Structure 1
C-alpha cells in the first residue's frame, strides 16, 4: 500500500473546516510536545461564526429511484451513474465559487461560506456578511443556469430530466464534531441551517429561495431593485437572476484562512489516523481495496478513476429521526454527543456503520447501514432491527418524551464515488434508502400513530427478521414516492435466543487455558479481536472448553451467533 497515495486521497473526503480543525489541534499539541506528535486525542467540539448556508436538492430523484428499483441490480447501477454525472458537475461549480461542501444528504448537497465574526448578535449593516450572501447567490444562479435542467436518457424510462432547487440561509452557524475514537461526525447547525429547511420547501424546481435574514444582508451590498425577483412573501424571497445586479459598495476582500497542506506538517502514519474517523468505514475499506487492485486490473489509481468504480449489494438501512434534538446553542453539544455515543455503541455491537449525522430545525437525523464491507453478514436485517430497538430503549433515558422514530428497510443499493479530486465522497443510493426515510416519518404524517420511539420496517426486513424479533402489522400505508401503498410493520421486541449455560465447575484444572480464554474475550470487548482456535486430540475435553468459552462470553455480555 502506498501510504502517501492513500493519505493524500483521504483529505478529499472531508470538508475544509475539518482539515483546519485538525491542523489547529496539531499546532496546539506541537507547542506542548514539540515535533514528536505520535497521537492526537479529539474531544466533542463546537465553534460558532457567521455563515451563509446553501442546500441544493434534486427534484425528480425519488420518482427516478422508484422506477429504476423495478429493474433490480441494473437499475441501481443506472441510478448511481446518472447521479454521479449530475453531482460531479454540481460539485465543480460549488468549488469554483469557493464554497465548502459540508456533506451529501441523499439527493442533496449542503455547502457554505463563513467568516469569523466576534459580534454575532450585532444586527448592524455589515457589508462583509452581505458579500458572503452575494457569493452564495452567484453560485446558485450559475448552478441553475448550467444545471437547472439536467437531461437523462434511459431507455423505456418516462423520466427524461432532473432539476434542482436551492435555498439560502444566513446567520449564526455552529460547526460541530461529535463521536468517539473510531468514528467522528462533522455537521453544522444554528440559525442559518434552520432557515434552510423552511425556504428550500418553498422553492420549486429550478428556483432559488432566500430567507429574509439572508436577503437583508444581501441588500447591504446590492441594490435589490436591480435584480430579478420571482416572488416575495413573509417566508422567503425568490431570486431569478443577477444579470443586471448593481452594487452599493465596491467588492470586498474577505479574510479567508490560508490554504495549507496538512501532510507536510505531521508524520505520515498520523495523517491517515487523523482523517479515518471522519470518513465512512465503508469508504475507507473500498478506497484501500480499489487502490490495491488498480495495478491488477490495469486501472489508474488517481482519484478520478477510483471514483468511477462502483458496485451494488443488498443492505439494511436504518434512518433515525430525533425531533427534539435541535442545535440552538453551544449547550446542545452535550446532548448531541450523548446521542451519537448511544448510536455508536449499538451500531458497533451489531457491526454496522454510521453514514452521517445531520441537524436542522426539524431535529436530528442519523443514517446507519448494515451489510457494507468489511462488515457484511447473512443476517444484516436482523442486526439492523435489533440495533434500532436497542438504540430506542437507551434513547428513552436521554429523551423521556420518546419523540424519536426509526425507519428500517432492506434492499439493493448502489455504492460509488461522486465528485472531483478536490472534494469527493462515496455515495449510497437506492429505493430502499428513500423508503427508510419515508418510514421514519410515518408517525409525523399519520396522526393515528403517536411518536413513541417506534421502529417501522418494510416487508422485506420483516420477512428476514420475524423469527428473531416480534412485530405488529400496521397494514398498508401510503408513502411518498410510491404509486401504491406498502405493508408496514412495527418492531416490538428482540426474542433473545436461549443459550444453555453449563456449570463451569465441571472443568477440573485447565487454569492456564481458562486464563487465555478470559483474556481473549476481554480483548474482544475493547476491539482487539483475535482468532481463537481449539486444537487437540479427541477425548481431551475440547468441547468442554468451547462450552466454557460460550458461557464466559455470555456472562461478559458478548454476542453469540
Structure 2
C-alpha cells in the first residue's frame, strides 16, 4: 500500500505476475467489505461500500524532498489512468482495462462495462494461494545496547522526514503508546492539482531518471517551502484523474489561532512560486513545449485527524466533509 487518504487508497504490485496478484487482492478486498454493510456507531448504522480501479502499465516512483520533508510518490500517465478507471466504477465493482486483462494467465472472468467497453468488470478469478509468510513488521531493537541505540537513531533520522511536523515529538513524549489517538479539530485543508509533471516522466522516459527526479524535486520543495513557511503540513502527493494532487493541512497535528488565514497565504505563495516554476522547469527538463498548470481548493472546518491503519502499516491523515469539499473546489 503506497497511500491511504481516508476514503481512498493506492496499492502497487511489482512482481512478474502483478496483474494476477492485483485482481486477486481486489477480489479479497471486496469480499471483506461484507463485514461493513451495517456498521454500528454512536450516530447510527452506516453502510460502507467500495469501488476499485486497476491498471497495468509503466510508472515512475520517486522519493522527493529534503532532510526536513520527504514524500514517496508515483507519476506517469498509467498512474492517472488507474484513477480514471476507479472513477468509472460504481460501488461494488472492480474495473480493469483490456490490456491488463490480456496479461492475466489464470482462469478469469470479466464482462465489458456497458457504457465504456475499454473497461472490464471483474467477476471471478482463481483464488490466490496462501501467503508463504505474514507481512513483516519493522521494529526497533528492544535490547538497549549502545549499538542498538545507535541503529535506532539512524533509523529515526531516515524515517523522520516522512512524518508530519510535530508527530515525532508527540510520539517521543509517550514512546510506549501503540498509536496517537485520533481527534476532531478545526483544520484548514488545502488541495492542489498540478498538471504536466506526468508529461515529464512519460516524455523523458528510461535513462533520464536523474533529470526527472531533479525536476520533480524542484516542484515539490518549492510547494513544501511555501506550506511550511505558514505552519502547514504536506500530507501527501497522490494520483489524480489528470495530473497529481498535493494535500496539505493547517491545524493538525499543531494548531494556530489563524490557520484559515495561514492556508490562504500559503496557497498564494504556492501560486507565486508555481508561476516561476512554470517558466523555468520546461527548459530545465529539456522539454520547451511542456505546459504546466496548477489549481487549488481550500476549506476550513472540523475534521477527524489521526493515525489510521494497523500496527505494521499506518498513516496520519484527515477525514471529513471539509476534506472532500476541498478536493471538489480544487477540481
Deviation at 1:262, TM superposition (A): 8.1
Deviation at 1:315, TM superposition (A): 1.3
Q: Structure 1 CA distance, aligned partners of 2:43 and 2:165?
A: 36
Matches within 5 A, 1:290-369: 291=174, 301=176, 303=178, 306=179, 309-326=181-198, 327-328=201-202, 329=205, 330=209, 331-360=211-240, 362-369=242-249
> Residue 199 of structure 1 contacts residue 235 of structure 1 at CA under 8 Å; is this kept in 2?
no
Q: Structure 1 CA distance, aligned partners of 2:127 and 2:49?
A: 29
> Residue 196 of structure 1 contacts residue 211 of structure 1 at CA under 8 Å; is this kept in 2?
no
Report the structure number with the largest CA radius of gyration.
1
Report Cα offsets for 1:113-138 as digits up to 9, x if no partner.
114xxxxxxxxxxxx3xx22111111
Which of 421, 431, 437 is matched with 2:311 structurally?
A: 421
Cα pair distance change 1:261/1:163, threshold 3 Å? closer
Which of 386, 394, 405 is matched with 2:265 structurally?
A: 386
Q: Structure 2 CA distance, aligned partners of 1:208 and 1:366?
A: 26
Q: Structure 1 CA distance, aligned partners of 2:252 and 2:50?
A: 29
Matches within 5 A, 1:90-101: 101=1
Deviation at 1:332, TM superposition (A): 3.6
Q: Post-superposition, which runs of at least 4 consecutive aligned residues in structure 1 deviate over 4 A?
A: 154-157, 258-266
Cα pair distance change 1:268/1:160, threshold 3 Å? closer
Deviation at 1:280, TM superposition (A): 2.1
Q: Structure 1 CA distance, aligned partners of 2:127 and 2:67?
A: 50
TM-score normalised according to structure 2 size: 0.81
TM-score normalised according to structure 1 size: 0.49
Determine the structure 2 residue equivalent to 1:103. 3
Confirm or deny that 1:168 pairs with 2:54. Answer: yes
Q: What secondary structure sits across from 2:11 in the alignment?
A: strand
Q: Structure 2 CA distance, aligned partners of 1:141 and 1:336?
A: 34
Q: Structure 2 CA distance, aligned partners of 1:140 and 1:354?
A: 29
Determine the structure 2 residue equivalent to 1:481. none
> Residue 308 of structure 2 contacts residue 315 of structure 2 at CA under 8 Å; is this kept in 1?
yes
Cα pair distance change 1:191/1:391, threshold 3 Å? closer
Q: Structure 1 CA distance, aligned partners of 2:240 and 2:327?
A: 16
Cα pair distance change 1:422/1:187, threshold 3 Å? same
Deviation at 1:217, TM superposition (A): 1.0
Report Cα offsets for 1:287-320 as digits up to 9, x if no partner.
334x25xxxxxxxx453xx25x221211111111
Q: Structure 2 CA distance, aligned partners of 1:109 and 1:283?
A: 22
Deviation at 1:160, TM superposition (A): 3.1
Cα pair distance change 1:183/1:160, threshold 3 Å? same
> Residue 252 of structure 2 contacts residue 305 of structure 2 at CA under 8 Å; is this kept in 1?
no
Deviation at 1:283, TM superposition (A): 3.6
> Residue 166 of structure 1 contacts residue 209 of structure 1 at CA under 8 Å; is this kept in 2?
yes
Structure 1 regions of 5+ residues with no counterpart?
A: 1-100, 116-127, 293-300, 442-561
Report the aligned-residue RMSD: 2.9
Deviation at 1:436, TM superposition (A): 1.1
Which of 78, 84, 97 is matched with 1:198 structurally?
A: 84
Q: Structure 2 CA distance, aligned partners of 1:429 and 1:229?
A: 33
Q: What secondary structure sits across from 2:192 in the alignment?
A: strand
Deviation at 1:429, TM superposition (A): 1.0
Determine the structure 2 residue equivalent to 1:406. 296
Q: What secondary structure sits across from 2:103 in the alignment?
A: helix
Q: Structure 2 CA distance, aligned partners of 1:432 and 1:143?
A: 27
Which of 370, 387, 391 is matched with 2:250 structurally?
A: 370
Q: Name the count of aligned residue pairs.
A: 300
> Residue 75 of structure 2 contacts residue 197 of structure 2 at CA under 8 Å; is this kept in 1?
no
Determine the structure 1 residue equivalent to 2:151. 267
Deviation at 1:322, TM superposition (A): 1.0
